[in-house]
Structure 1
Amino acid sequence: MPPKNRNKKSGKGKPSAVVDALSTEEMSKDQLEEHVVRLREELDREREERSYFQLERDKIRGLWEISRRRLEEAEAELRDGVRQRDEAAQRHRVEITVYKQKLKHVLSEQHNAVCEMKTDAISSSSLLRDRNTGSELDLQRQLQDLQAAGEQKMIQEHGAAKELQLKHQAELMRLGNEYERQIHELEMSFHQRAHSLMQAEVRKRRAAVSEVEQRMKSHMESLMEEHDRVLRKGEEYFSRIQRNQQEELDRWKGELKKLQNQKLRWEKKISAAQQENQRLKTTLQEVQQKLPELHRRLQEHQHSKQRMEEYRAQQKLVDQELRDLTVEHELLLQAFHKVQQERDELLRRQTQSILDVQQRSGLKKILLQRKMEALSQTLEKKEAQLSAALSVCSVEPTARSNAALKLQEILESKRTAMEALQLDLDQGAQLLRPLQDDVEVAVVPPLRSPSRPAEPVPEEPGPDRW
């Protein structure tokens, strides 16, 4: 429709220019009628443009309504996402509260178990203390028995050593007396034999002196040899007896030394046994002193081990729930990013459409303002020309008054059309102003997605952490 109006306007540009070039005095009645017809055509064209602008305004309103509905839908989806996130957070808080209550129950049960184990440990330690006391008394009695046996054995060894010494002295005296008696007997037998031989020789000498002398010499030699032999035998026997006696004495001395060494060994063993007994006493005291600490450490180790197993089981449950919550959080984040992208796309489209509408409306407003200014100027000129033409026209007064009234009506309708156009422009500006405000409000930076929480590293808690 607007191109057709432009063609009409371009087709009738020359006559209007020719008519406008004429003064009101030079215009005839036909020219005035043509001028009025041309003004009517311009009025119709302005009405068509007005209807066209009204259609454009309706399109802009429809587009604005569609954008507003889309924005409301996006906001509703965003509110649903926020509500779902709040519900998930509420469920998470409820689950955390339930886990805390479970942990309190577990800690109370653990405290009861620890108290029971402490009572059991105290009773077992008292039983063990009584048992250790009985064993200590038994060891002390055994030690006293060993000491008494050692003292008795020492007394017996002293008595045995004295008896052996007395026996040895008596044996030495007996052997000495025996050896002296044997020597005396040998000497007596030797003297008796020598005396008998001397008597026999005296008797034989009396019988045959010469033969005896000869025989005496030989016999003396034989006697001397036999005497030497007997003396040697006696000396050998005496030396053998002395050697045997010395060997016996050495043997008794060795036995005495062995007994003394055995006594020393027994004394050393007794001292070692006493030292060992003292060491065992000190060790027993140290063990008794360390026994409560060892029991306490054993109980702490058992408690720590039990707590560690319980905490590992709880850690596994918490890790599983954390993985489930992480997966759910990832799904919610993906849904949130998707909703955010859709919202950003809707905002971008709405902003683009509003900017396009605003640009087109601004251009049309500028064109309408320029047309209104041109029409107002043209109307003023034509009104002045008509008033001048009517003042100098030589027609009848009735026809002139009718033409003036008709022209006045046309001018009034023209002014009414211009006022309507101005009103439409004002309404379009008022409609565009909230759109501009909505654009300024809607063009905001995109929402930041919630930061993803860092995943924790499971560490096995030690006993001192709890």
Structure 2
Amino acid sequence: MNREQLEIYAHKILEELEREREERNFFQLERDKLRTFWEITRHQLNEARAVVRNKEREKEELVENHEAELKLYKQKVKHLMYEHQTNLSETKAEHLVSLKLAQDDHIVQENELIKDKTNLKKVQKEQELAYMNEIRALKAHNSEEMNNMIKKFESEAVELEQKYEQKLTSQYESLILKHRMEITEVEERKNAQIANLIKNHENAFTEMKNYYNDITLNNLSLIKSMKEQMEMMRNNEERMKKQQRELTIENKKYLIDLKALQETITELNRQLANYEKDKQCLVNTKRRLSAVMKDLENLKWENEVLELRFEKCQSERDELHSRFVSAIFELQQKTGLKNVLLEKKLEKLSDLLEQREVQISEVLAAAQLDPAAVINMNKKLEDMLNRKNTAIQDLQYELAKVCKAHDDLLAIYESKLQEYGIPKTELGFQPLRMKTIGTKLSLGPAGLVTANQ
């Protein structure tokens, strides 16, 4: 770790000290605010009691006025009930008279309707008798006409059957004669066709016989000519085989000479390639050797410079180490005391809050306020308590951030000690790990303090 980095860390530590002082002032301001809030709430409670008393007086006055109004309304209701009963009796008498008159009218109308009904029944019976007589006469006339029509149609049907039977017999005889004549004609035609077919088959057979005889003669002549050609081909084949043997022997000789020449060519090419490679390798090695010599000289010079720097760094490291150890020790003591004081203050404040809540609940119970007023007061108190709780949580969060920053700084310091090969036993003290009560901090950066779940 360089000197500049250590100075930066020292500067950060000083900034954190100033920040903690500001936080102390902030906590004192919060304490004063809590006191003022308590006084304000006490004053508000007294005002609320006065308001409750006024409301109770108003309530009593309203109850008295309400009772007087009730008496007036009861008297009015009695008068209205009496008037209503008188009106009911009058309307009942009027309705009874009108009902009797309506009943008399209804009886008269009913008698008239009964008379009309009897007259209509008599007329209906007379009409039914007349219709029955007419229906009987129509049925008798219709039956006579039906019998006449049946007899007429039966006689016509018999005559038609006789006519068609005569026609059928004459037609049958004529058709039989035609059929016999047609059969004789067909037999004559058939015999003539059979004779023609026999003649045609005999002519075709003679033609086929002559055709196949010609084919056999031609085939025999072709076979003789093909045999002669085969003998010629065999002779040519034997001659060609002899020539092929001679040529193969010559080819073998030439192949042996060619292989020998190819081997000599490959050896010469290989020797030439190796010579060029060796030549290039020699040039490259000379160049590398010169470059390596130059690098060696440069490295020697750099080594001397680095040794001097290393000695200076060791001296600076020792100085910074001593300063850093002293600063961390002072910081640990201060932060530890502050954390303890803050925790005690928080515990006291929580106890005071509980006592105040108990006192307020007792006061409200003794005052016997309206439920609406009590609910409003409770809401206000809950809001105020929520604000206080959020403030306490913020303070706890800030405290956790400070502890986390302290632990991170220790971790960085230990890692740097390991980098420079310094054991922890040389510090001369055991560094404190700052942890808040009831919380487990994460391993993230100091600005992102979260509780490990």
TM-score bracket for this pair, using the shorter chain length: under 0.3
With a CA cutoff of 8 Å and minimum separation of 6, indicate the structure with the bigger relative contact order: 1
TM-score of the superposed pair, with normalisation by structure 2: 0.28
